[in-house]
Chains A and B, each alone.
Chain A
Amino acid sequence: MFPRTFYQKLIDSHTVAKLDEQNILLFCDLHLMNEYTSPQAFAGLYEEKRGVPMPGQNVAVVSHIIPTHPGKMRVIADPPSALQATYLKKNCDTFGIPLFDTNDALQGIEHVVAPEHGMIRPGMVVICGDSHTTTYGALGALGFGIGTTEVEHVLATQTLVYRVAKTMLIRVDGRLSEGVTAKDLVLAIIGHIGARGALGYVVEYSGSAIEALSIEARFTLCNMIVEAGARGALIAPDKKAIDYVMARAPDIAETWREAALDAWRDLRTDSGATFDAVHSFDAALIAPQVTWGTSPDQVVAIDASLPRIDDLEEGVVRASGVRAMAYTKLTQGEAIEGVPIQHVFIGSCTNGRIEDLRAAAAVIHGRHVAQGVRAMVVPGSGSVKAAAEAEGLDAAFIAAGFEWRNAGCSMCLAMNDDVLADGVRCASTTNRNFEGRQGRGAITHLMSPAMAAAAAVTGKITDVRRLEINHG
């Protein structure tokens, strides 16, 4: 047989019909929904009197609007947001769709909840009305975001009209240095290829540096590649990925183990298959990264300076750079290290997992949040929160002056009541530094959890490699 990429295999095994030269009818194994991109889709179903033929392949999570204040009961104070949660429950009940509701103990961010309970399995096609669905590539599942019209289409047909993407290989060899994480790697990649560098492509990551990464680190890597425009990400499932899934999916482990292992063996790019584009990186050359602007590709190494205006491409690119510096109140050529911050946010579907919290906690042992800084930790899910508490991470954060919050998307999107005030500068482990993303006029610097923790205890953007780690 003709050698195929992993992506082409996934597409071939999910094609219900070829519609024309570019488009196929793609079968979707799992469809995740949230409260703010699904209500209009359900309304469309009611209007056309259409049903949901395969409700068991769909699941909903209240994730973006949920309050994260400490305390047992979660009450959504904002009436329109509360109505979204009510509608989600009503719609799920109507069609028999499983739901993680507001006060579910396992509640959290959809992209953290789904894989941690074994719902994401190698070889799946997973979609969701949220752009960060690319996360699932870490387990060898093709995940991607869709809009509300498409949510309605999936509910009614369990398929999507899908334009087949081009393929890009991102190869990363070598070893990441001490203090450098998957977040730094993906920021460096986006900085190199640009915010539209992967537009039209599904990216496959490979190489020794990728193999060395934990599954949680791979989630970070796949989650953020959408910021380079990618339509999806994939990493061929290896033993680590398979062990991760088997530990969380007892049905496979107990009943179908051998058959599944057999099916998953082929989930990789054949030798001789070609990609439409290839990029290579040396992990050893990557330093901790920090964004300086308002697009994730406006990023520099911690020991570097902001670009000079004259070095930016003339025209719209330069104008956008100037605009970004005006927004972030930084100047050309300025060093990024040492910029004072007032807020720290550790969490999100990029970096709200247990390993991320451990990495941040390792930096704060024996230290305290700097004066004038407000620092928040928001676990990615109820399970992550419980795991962190079992390890005593909550006590460590609280002792160091952090707020230990309930799980949710929180200040990543700031659609709940966690919003930054105008002009506040935040060291953030999220995925987007867009203008106004964390609040109108708020300034976001993207970085890793360890770097965010370093910023919290020093009150300024700091190279975490300079801080001695006190093992507590």
Chain B
Amino acid sequence: MVDVRTIEGRAAPLPIENLDTDQIMPKQFLRGIDKSGLTQGLLHDLRFDREGNPERDFVLNRPEYENASILIGASNFGCGSSREHAVWGLLQYGFRAVIAPSFAEIFFSNAMNNRLLLVALPAEQIARLMEDANDPANNQVVIDVQAQTLRSQSVNATFDMHPRHRKMFLEGLDNIGLSLTYQDDIRSFANDHWRRQPWLKDVAALTRKRLDA
């Protein structure tokens, strides 16, 4: 994995509250068995009209926002369905970061696990970032992950990031590999847990067996 120390690029404003993952990646693009091929699906119904032609007014279709790599969103960004396809689609399209006042929980974990950086900032800083992003001449944003700072034309901010997530961005981190170092603890936890509550062991397998009998 390549480390992500800074993210720098053009920001696109998307001022839609409660932007749900159904809109970020509609259902018809969830039929794959791998993660690929999601670029076309990203924000599909906002980007394309019913005939499949680009909606000319939509921010991502305007030439001045071509190659935008940072999205400025509104509150509760990524709410709704747990589909990780929404995150894969944003990355495949070329986004590296989303900045918004708040993010939905599952979306937040999904994004960080895929190293799509989410930055939560107070509403008034988002409002200024949104204004900067509205002016294509001045819509560069620079995010320093190491220093946890963010800079645009009129915003100079620091942001919170959990040390665990920061490490994931700076060093790349195999979460599963790390958790597997606890393998013995997990096994002994489970044995103790099941000794006290035997009705929790192999619930799925035993239920399936009973229903098949």
Task: Provide the main secondary structure of the chain B interface.
Answer: helix
Q: Which of B20, B27, B75, B80 contacts A316 (CB 8 A)?
A: B75
Q: Which B residues are within 8 Å of any A CB, using their own CB?
A: 15-18, 20, 22-23, 26-27, 30-35, 45, 50, 74-76, 79-84, 87, 102, 104-106, 109-110, 113-114, 127, 162-164, 175-176, 179-180, 182-183, 185-187, 189-190, 193, 196-208, 210-211
Measured between C-beta atoms, what is the minimum distance from A25 to chain B in Å?
6
A16 and B189 in contact, given A25-B179, A117-B207, A295-B18 (Cβ under 8 angstroms): yes
**Do B106 and A146 touch across chains, with their CB atoms under 8 A apart?**
yes
Of A17, A58, A200, A256, chain B has the most CB atoms within 10 Å of the CB of A17
Known A98-B208, A320-B74; 13 more pairs at CB < 8 Å: A17-B185, A55-B205, A59-B204, A98-B204, A148-B84, A148-B110, A149-B109, A157-B183, A195-B18, A195-B76, A196-B76, A250-B210, A434-B22
Residues on the B chain within 8 Å of A149, using CB: 84, 109-110, 113-114, 175
Which of B30, B199, B204 is A36 in contact with, Cβ under 8 Å? B30
The yes or no answer to A390 lying at the interface (CB within 8 A) is: no
User: Nearest chain B CB to A431's CB is how many angstroms away?
Assistant: 10
A43 and B80 within 8 A (CB) = no
A156 at the interface (CB under 8 A from B): yes
With a CB–CB cut-off of 8 A, which chain B residues contact A36? 30-31, 83
Contact residues, A13-46 vs B (CB, 8 A): 13-14, 16-17, 19-20, 22-23, 25, 27, 29-30, 36-37, 39-40, 43
A422 to B205, CA, bound (A): 43
**The one of A22, A39, A256 that contacts B33, using a Cβ cutoff of 8 Å:** A39
Partner of A59, one of B17, B179, B208: B208
Q: Which residue of B lies closest to A245 (CB)?
A: B199
- A84–B29 Cα gap in the complex (Å)? 13
Residues of A contacting B105 with CB < 8 Å? 199-200, 229, 231
> A150 to B34, Cβ gap below 8 A?
no
- Which of these, B22, B193, B200, B210, contacts A432 with CB under 8 Å? B22
| Residue-wise interface mask of A (182-200) relative to B, using a CB-CB cutoff of 8 A (1 in contact, 0 not) | 0000000000000110011
Question: Are the CB atoms of B204 and A58 closer together than 8 Å?
Answer: yes
Q: Is A436 an interface residue (CB 8 A)?
A: yes
CB pair B211 A106 closer than 8 Å: yes
